[in-house]
Amino acid sequence: MTKTDERTALMMRQMKNWQPGSAMSKDRCWQRSKGLLSRIGEWFRKYYRIVSGDNQ
């Protein structure tokens, strides 16, 4: 089991233990984090392209 797997398992356990006020707030929080993750992914790809010099 790698370090990343351990961290993921820990996060999953924390999420399971976390009791949201309602399913609605949980869903909204998930939507926000999903949007943030995709934005970070886009930025990372852009940054990587600049670093690797493949910016055609």
The amino acid at residue 24 is: M
pTM score of the predicted model: 0.38
Whether pLDDT at 23 is above 80: no
DSSP characters for 1-56?
--HHHHHHHHHHHHHHH---S-HHHHHHHHHHHHHHHHHHHHHHHHHHHHHHT---
Mean pLDDT of the chain: 78
Tell me: the pLDDT tens digits for 24-51? 666 777 788 888 889 999 999 998 888 8
Any idea where the domains of the chain sit in the sequence?
26-56
pLDDT of residue 56: 52
pLDDT of residue 29: 74
CA 50 to chain centroid: 23
